[in-house]
């Protein structure tokens, strides 16, 4: 029996002893099976080991020697497996048998070998065997075995699973019986099996007819009921968990609903027409309309119709539109929400529909009359009996049956409930379309703003929920719903245009919905209030919708009145941030971190709708673990962060609507910083030689240089004298400098990378010990770095003050950081001149670093001591007005206070000396200097008074 061997496998069996040994082992195992046909306690272990070994040799034979399968079929060894299974052999043997079968079918690669195993209908006999499914291990291996078989389905193997003579498909029907199994992994496996059956591109028409006639309606009706039961359980969890104690259970229920929606979407995108028709009918008429949509406006817990809370309904509908894009389904659902009438839910219509429909209560969320297993058993017993016509979808081959029946077989005056729903929607759409064909954009806007006069209770509820001065609980879900509908590719643009909510990729638009725009701007205004209860997620989503609402391909079409209201909200946000300016020592760090977070992590609505925590009432404590943007602030630090983020959002929106670029943010721009390998002109710059000791790179010789915002480690450029190559550059504001106890010549310097989130730990980009030549240079370096850090933070705080329209006070220059060039004064966001980098012109010799021993500009000599007769008054001088002293006419003779300077000369620094000929000049003034002693700082405090001549 083992005379053949697959070609290309090398030498014969006689030259390979291990192959010959396998052949003998396989024959011996067959002999063991023949001698142990009955399972007992004595031979149970022997049979289990024999089955495992047979599987291993079969897998080897599939890959190396086809004669192994010939012997397997010749001796009909699969019968032994089935006989062992049918005996009450215990879970140990069943588990081992299912495990080995699963491994066997997973590893079979040749189609011929697969056909051998599937022949004689033994596999179907194992599938329909009554296992003890209360055992979790048997259940797991059984469903895994079915999933493995479903992966082998194709146009050739389907004949081994679907029995056309008995009209049975055991692999499919046995799998779907576990669609509501308590174990989630089993339910996931069932979904995988059904999708493999649906999308296998199987052209077997009898099998498709069997799925349509025998299983589609029972399976989808029970599936819809199972999904709705989970939704009601989710709603109960939300209603009873105001204290956030059952968030784990709530998260599991939300994840289960998302899995259901993705599974439904996977079925719909297969684009099997009869399946989509049946599934759409059940989803609309048995779940989405009677449970989700009906709960939007009917919150009274009266009557027998089940309801869910408003927030859960909006949340689940948002998930539906974000995930499912099947046009017939989402268009019908959107029509009911945006243009629907509650007449289809009225008791009178329901009674009429129930009388005329084959299935009573088709538009109600009710439990199916039969379980899925019972329905499959009944349909199996009926055989090929002709089914009654089902509403709202076309059966495969139904045209021929209708022609044979003739028109007299159809009862008169009978209409399906789903057809009635569609007719109500279509009539309303026709009415609206007829009235909208010949109206202008202004009339459309007026109609959209007055839409509450229409009988559209669902849309009216959506608009009313956006009025959220004190509570944005429902507003967040409404914004998510509008966003999801406008980004759904399956919804027709004309459906959204009726409320002038254009789709994401709309091109032509000359008007927008003023009522919706005003509500969105009010949300922004509420968010900018000191005691605002608008969460950051709600505000960001409102900004996204407003941009989408008032923009077309040519730019913004927002009206001036709405833009003025938006500017008012932006001004409110500026005043809000001013309250926290310098209120916290880490205000600068929070300011930059919030901008970085907002830029790098914009709103993702899909992820937002996956978070179950937003279903619970908004809380203000971080102890719940809810993300900051999804809850209210707690404490002054979080209020500061929220005020900064609101300011950023409204500023960005304002600039975007006015088509203006952002020129002042971020405070630190990467393109303006010194970077590694930059070549700089270091002539006339103070450099301190040091040895940098790190854990990774050991010891290296570098020169320390300090700029306005950065410290750099450079090494000499071998090509040009006086130039240096940057080997490291870091921001001074993120630096920490500490001394070394045992060495007065060394400093420990750590520079952290800005954290990506407020809760993440800062990552050090430099952590080294700097060793200098002596302690004097060490002290100089420490002072320079400390003063540089103070100056860098002070300059950025001044730029923040300019953003907030606060008066900018000129900061006293820290030694070593004076830059008086005209170029830098006109480039407030460039930290140094690009000309100071390596340029093509080698004659350019400009220093990037100022000396610590020099102050730019020659200061005037210190004022002489006051004469005895005039204590506190220095000799008068004439000065020309600079930008700090406004121009005044000569007739203005009143003395004006112009400034205070501590320990320096405001006159020499801020005013320029002019010619000593003030006659006829209208810009000459007299500056009087009053020196006073400061008991706080221990230095001289100069007060300056300006007197015009």
651, burial (CB in 10 Å: exposed 0-12, middle 13-18, buried 19+): middle
What confidence score (pLDDT) does residue 848 get?
Answer: 38
What confidence score (pLDDT) does residue 343 get?
Answer: 64
Instruction: Please state at what angle helix 310-323 crosses helix 327-339, rounded to 10 degrees.
Output: 140
In the predicted structure, residue 889 carries a pLDDT above the cut 70: no
In the predicted structure, residue 342 carries a pLDDT above the cut 90: no
The percentage of residues in the chain with a pLDDT greater than 70, rounded to a whole number, is 69
Task: Specify whether 595 is located in the same domain as 482.
Answer: yes
Segment 96-112 mean pLDDT: 85
pLDDT band at 245 (very low <50, low <70, confident <90, very high): confident
In the predicted structure, residue 523 carries a pLDDT above the cut 60: yes
> Which of 126, 138, 141, 206 shows the shortest CA–CA distance to 174?
126
Task: Specify whether 470 is located in the same domain as 534.
Answer: yes
What confidence score (pLDDT) does residue 873 get?
Answer: 35
Task: Specify whether 694 is located in the same domain as 649.
Answer: no
Count of CB atoms situated within 10 Å of the CB of 504 = 11
Segment 671-695 mean pLDDT: 89
Structural domain of 611:
453-658
Structure tokens at 213: 């006639």
Q: List, in sequence order, every beta strand (DSSP E) within 429-481.
A: none
Q: Which residues, 6 or more positions from 603, have their beta carbon under 8 angstroms from its beta carbon?
A: 537, 540, 541, 544
Q: Of 804, 822, 843, which one is at a domain's C-terminal end?
A: 804
Segment 392-405 mean pLDDT: 42
Domain contains 120: no
Rounded Cα distance between 488 and 503, Å, is: 8
Range with the lowest mean pLDDT among 208-217, 291-300, 639-648, 834-843?
Answer: 834-843
Task: Specify whether 643 is located in the same domain as 682.
Answer: no
In the predicted structure, residue 822 carries a pLDDT above the cut 60: no
Q: Tell me, what CATH number does 703's domain have?
A: 2.30.29.30
What confidence score (pLDDT) does residue 745 get?
Answer: 92
Task: Specify whether 644 is located in the same domain as 729.
Answer: no
pLDDT band at 321 (very low <50, low <70, confident <90, very high): very high
Rounded Cα distance between 943 and 217, Å, is: 91
What confidence score (pLDDT) does residue 845 get?
Answer: 37
Segment 302-331 mean pLDDT: 89
Residue 492 has phi, psi (to 5 degrees) of -70, 140
pLDDT in tens, 540-578: 999 999 998 888 888 888 999 999 999 999 999 999 999
Residue 249 has phi, psi (to 5 degrees) of -65, -40
What confidence score (pLDDT) does residue 346 get?
Answer: 57
Range with the lowest mean pLDDT among 615-619, 668-672, 883-887?
Answer: 883-887
- Given a contact cutoff of 8 angstroms between Cβ atoms, the answer to whether 798 and 633 are in contact is no
The DSSP code for 482 is H
Task: Specify whether 606 is located in the same domain as 744.
Answer: no
Segment 515-534 mean pLDDT: 92
Task: Specify whether 512 is located in the same domain as 619.
Answer: yes
> Which of 18, 102, 116, 121 shows the shortest CA–CA distance to 60?
18
Average pLDDT value over all residues in the chain: 75
What confidence score (pLDDT) does residue 322 get?
Answer: 95
Residue with tokens 């032509």: 508
Task: Specify whether 586 is located in the same domain as 694.
Answer: no
Range with the lowest mean pLDDT among 209-218, 478-487, 587-596, 922-931?
Answer: 922-931
Segment 922-927 mean pLDDT: 49
What confidence score (pLDDT) does residue 440 get?
Answer: 52
pLDDT band at 882 (very low <50, low <70, confident <90, very high): very low
pLDDT band at 280 (very low <50, low <70, confident <90, very high): very high
Q: Of 769, 804, 839, which one is at a domain's C-terminal end?
A: 804
Task: Specify whether 732 is located in the same domain as 795.
Answer: yes
Range with the lowest mean pLDDT among 74-88, 275-289, 661-675, 790-804?
Answer: 74-88
pTM of the model: 0.74
Count of CB atoms situated within 10 Å of the CB of 449 = 16
Segment 614-628 mean pLDDT: 87
First to last CA, the chain: 125
Domain contains 43: no
Task: Specify whether 706 is located in the same domain as 593.
Answer: no
Structure tokens at 663: 């020129």
Domain contains 754: yes
pLDDT in tens, 135-150: 899 999 999 999 999 9
Cα angle vertex 730, ends 727, 735, to 5°? Answer: 135
> Which of 160, 162, 67 shows the shortest CA–CA distance to 113?
67
C-alpha distance from residue 130 to each of 142, 143, 147, 194, 629 (Å): 11, 13, 18, 21, 53
In the predicted structure, residue 515 carries a pLDDT above the cut 70: yes
In the predicted structure, residue 254 carries a pLDDT above the cut 60: yes
Segment 347-369 mean pLDDT: 52
Rounded Cα distance between 817 and 682, Å, is: 15
pLDDT band at 816 (very low <50, low <70, confident <90, very high): very low
Instruction: Please state at what angle helix 775-803 crosses helix 587-600, rounded to 10 degrees.
Output: 60
Domain contains 717: yes
| Three-state secondary structure string covering 484-552 | HHHCCCCCCHHHHHCCCCCCCCCCCCCCCCHHHHHHHHHHHHHHCCCCCCCCHHHHHHHHHHHHHHHEE
In the predicted structure, residue 903 carries a pLDDT above the cut 50: no
C-alpha distance from residue 169 to each of 121, 195, 358, 367 (Å): 12, 15, 27, 26
Segment 860-874 mean pLDDT: 44
In the predicted structure, residue 864 carries a pLDDT above the cut 60: no
323, burial (CB in 10 Å: exposed 0-12, middle 13-18, buried 19+): middle
> Which of 246, 387, 228, 416 shows the shortest CA–CA distance to 308?
228
Q: Which long-range contacts (CB under 8 A, 24 or more apart) does 606-610 make?
A: 606/322, 608/480, 608/537, 608/541, 609/315, 609/318, 609/319, 609/322, 609/480, 609/484, 610/254, 610/255, 610/258
Domain contains 103: no
Number of independent structural domains in the chain: 2
Query: How many residues make up the chain in this entry?
Result: 949
What confidence score (pLDDT) does residue 520 get?
Answer: 93
pLDDT in tens, 829-857: 333 344 444 444 433 333 334 333 333 34
Rg of the chain on CA atoms, in Å: 40
Q: Of 780, 804, 828, which one is at a domain's C-terminal end?
A: 804
Task: Specify whether 622 is located in the same domain as 702.
Answer: no
Residue 694 has phi, psi (to 5 degrees) of -120, 165
Segment 324-336 mean pLDDT: 92
Task: Specify whether 654 is located in the same domain as 683.
Answer: no
77, burial (CB in 10 Å: exposed 0-12, middle 13-18, buried 19+): middle
What confidence score (pLDDT) does residue 600 get?
Answer: 86
Domain contains 272: no
If one compares 599 and 893, the residue with the highest pLDDT of the two is 599
In the predicted structure, residue 781 carries a pLDDT above the cut 50: yes
Range with the lowest mean pLDDT among 186-190, 330-334, 784-788, 944-948?
Answer: 944-948
Indicate the pairing of strand 877-880 with strand 763-772.
Answer: unpaired
The percentage of residues in the chain with a pLDDT greater than 90, rounded to a whole number, is 29
Q: Which long-range contacts (CB under 8 A, 24 or more apart) does 55-61 make?
A: 55/100, 55/101, 55/103, 55/104, 57/22, 57/25, 57/26, 57/29, 58/104, 58/113, 59/103, 59/104, 59/107, 59/108, 60/22, 61/113
> Which of 437, 223, 484 shows the shortest CA–CA distance to 338?
484
What confidence score (pLDDT) does residue 468 get?
Answer: 83
In the predicted structure, residue 99 carries a pLDDT above the cut 70: yes
In the predicted structure, residue 160 carries a pLDDT above the cut 60: yes
What confidence score (pLDDT) does residue 932 get?
Answer: 46
pLDDT in tens, 40-67: 888 888 888 888 888 888 888 777 777 7
In the predicted structure, residue 39 carries a pLDDT above the cut 70: yes
Q: Which helix (H) or strand (E) holds 946?
A: strand 940-948
Residue with tokens 């245009």: 497
pLDDT in tens, 379-393: 777 654 444 444 444
pLDDT band at 112 (very low <50, low <70, confident <90, very high): confident
Range with the lowest mean pLDDT among 400-404, 548-552, 923-927?
Answer: 400-404
> Which of 765, 763, 768, 771 shows the shortest CA–CA distance to 695?
768
pLDDT in tens, 414-459: 344 444 444 444 444 444 444 444 455 555 555 454 444 456 788 8
What confidence score (pLDDT) does residue 76 get?
Answer: 78
If one compares 879 and 487, the residue with the highest pLDDT of the two is 487
What confidence score (pLDDT) does residue 122 get?
Answer: 86
What confidence score (pLDDT) does residue 25 get?
Answer: 77
Rounded Cα distance between 914 and 909, Å, is: 14
């Amino acid at each position: 029996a083992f005379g053949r061997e697959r070609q290309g496998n090398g030498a014969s069996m006689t030259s390979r002893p291990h192959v010959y040994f396998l052949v003998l082992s396989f024959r011996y195992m067959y002999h063991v099976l023949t001698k142990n046909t009955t399972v007992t306690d004595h031979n149970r272990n022997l049979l289990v080991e024999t089955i495992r070994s047979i599987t291993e040799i079969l897998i080897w034979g599939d890959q190396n020697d086809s004669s192994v399968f010939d012997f397997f079929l010749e001796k009909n060894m699969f019968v032994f497996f089935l006989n062992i299974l049918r005996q009450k052999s215990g879970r140990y043997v069943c588990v081992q048998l299912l495990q080995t079968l699963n491994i066997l079918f997973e590893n079979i690669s040749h189609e011929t070998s697969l056909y051998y195993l599937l022949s004689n209908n033994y596999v179907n006999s194992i599938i329909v065997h009554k296992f003890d499914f209360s055992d979790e291990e048997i259940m797991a291996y059984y469903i895994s075995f079915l999933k493995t078989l479903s992966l082998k389905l194709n146009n050739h193997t389907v004949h081994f699973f679907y029995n056309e003579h008995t009209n049975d498909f055991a692999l499919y029907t046995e799998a779907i019986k576990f669609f509501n199994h308590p174990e989630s992994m089993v339910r996931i496996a069932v979904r995988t099996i059904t999708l493999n059956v649906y999308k296998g591109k199987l052209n077997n028409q009898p099998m498709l007819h069997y799925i349509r006639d025998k299983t589609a309606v029972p399976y989808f009706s029970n599936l819809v009921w199972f999904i709705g039961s989970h939704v009601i359980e989710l709603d109960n969890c939300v209603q009873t968990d105001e204290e956030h104690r059952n968030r784990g259970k709530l998260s599991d229920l939300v994840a289960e609903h998302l899995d259901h929606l993705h599974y439904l979407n996977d079925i719909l995108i297969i684009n099997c027409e009869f399946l989509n028709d049946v599934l759409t009918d059940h989803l609309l008429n048995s779940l989405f309309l009677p449970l989700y949509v009906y709960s939007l406006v009917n919150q009274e817990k009266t009557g027998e119709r089940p309801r869910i809370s408003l927030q859960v309904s909006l949340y689940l509908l948002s998930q539906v539109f974000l995930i499912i894009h099947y046009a017939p389904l989402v268009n019908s659902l959107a029509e009911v929400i945006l243009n629907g009438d509650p007449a289809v839910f009225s008791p009178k219509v329901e009674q009429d529909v129930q009388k005329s429909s084959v299935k009573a209560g088709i538009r109600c969320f009710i439990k199916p009359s039969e379980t899925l297993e019972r329905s499959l058993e009944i349909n199996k017993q009926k055989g090929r009996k002709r089914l009654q016509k089902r509403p709202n979808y076309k059966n495969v081959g139904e045209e021929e049956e209708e022609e044979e029946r003739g028109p007299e077989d159809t009862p008169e005056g009978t209409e399906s409930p789903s057809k009635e729903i569609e007719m109500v929607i279509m009539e309303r759409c026709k009415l609206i379309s007829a009235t909208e064909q010949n109206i202008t954009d202004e009339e459309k806007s007026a109609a959209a703003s007055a839409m509450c006069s229409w009988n559209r209770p669902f849309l009216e509820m959506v608009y009313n929920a956006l009025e959220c001065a004190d509570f944005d609980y429902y507003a967040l879900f409404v914004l998510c719903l509008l966003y999801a509908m406008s980004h759904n590719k399956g919804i027709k643009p004309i459906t959204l245009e009726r409320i002038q909510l254009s789709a994401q990729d709309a091109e032509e638009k000359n008007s927008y919905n003023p009522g919706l725009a005003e509500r969105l701007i009010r949300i922004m205004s509420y968010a900018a209030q000191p005691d605002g209860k608008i969460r950051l997620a709600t505000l960001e989503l409102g900004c996204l919708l407003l941009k989408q609402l008032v923009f077309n391909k040519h730019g913004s079409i927002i009206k001036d009145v709405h833009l003025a209201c938006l500017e008012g909200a932006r001004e409110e946000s500026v005043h809000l941030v001013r309250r926290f300016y310098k209120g916290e020592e880490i205000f600068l760090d929070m300011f930059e971190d919030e901008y970085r977070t907002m830029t790098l992590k914009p709103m993702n609505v899909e992820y937002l709708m996956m978070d179950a925590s937003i279903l619970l009432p908004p809380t203000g404590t971080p102890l719940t673990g809810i993300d900051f943007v999804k809850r209210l602030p707690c404490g002054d630090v979080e209020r500061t962060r929220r005020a900064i983020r609101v300011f950023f959002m409204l500023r960005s929106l304002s600039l975007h609507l006015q088509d203006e670029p952002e020129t002042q943010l971020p405070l630190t721009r990467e393109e303006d910083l010194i970077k590694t390998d930059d070549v700089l002109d270091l002539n006339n710059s103070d450099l301190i030689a040091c040895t940098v000791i790190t854990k990774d790179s050991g010891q290296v010789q570098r020169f320390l240089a300090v700029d306005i915002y950065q410290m750099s480690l450079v090494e000499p450029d071998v090509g040009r004298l006086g130039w240096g190559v940057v080997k490291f550059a870091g921001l001074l504001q993120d630096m920490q400098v500490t001394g070394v106890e045992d060495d007065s010549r060394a400093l420990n310097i750590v520079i952290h990378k800005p954290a990506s989130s407020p809760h993440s730990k800062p990552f050090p980009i430099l952590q080294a010990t700097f060793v200098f030549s002596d302690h004097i240079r060490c002290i100089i370096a420490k002072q320079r770095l400390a003063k540089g850090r103070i100056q860098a933070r002070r300059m950025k705080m001044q730029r923040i003050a300019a953003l907030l329209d606060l008066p900018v006070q000129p900061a006293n220059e820290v030694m070593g950081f004076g830059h008086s060039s005209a170029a830098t004064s006109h480039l407030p966001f460039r930290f140094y001149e690009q000309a100071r980098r390596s340029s093509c012109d080698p004659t350019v010799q400009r220093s990037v670093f100022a000396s610590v021993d020099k102050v730019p500009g020659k200061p005037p000599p210190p004022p002489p001591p006051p004469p005895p007769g005039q204590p506190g008054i220095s000799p008068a001088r004439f000065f020309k007005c600079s930008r700090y002293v406004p121009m005044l006419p000569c007739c203005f003779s009143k003395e004006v206070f112009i400034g205070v300077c501590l320990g320096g000369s405001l006159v020499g620094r801020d005013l320029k000396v002019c010619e000593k000929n003030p006659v006829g000049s209208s810009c000459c003034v007299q500056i009087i200097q009053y020196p006073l002693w400061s008991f706080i700082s221990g230095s001289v405090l100069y007060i300056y008074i300006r007197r015009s001549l």
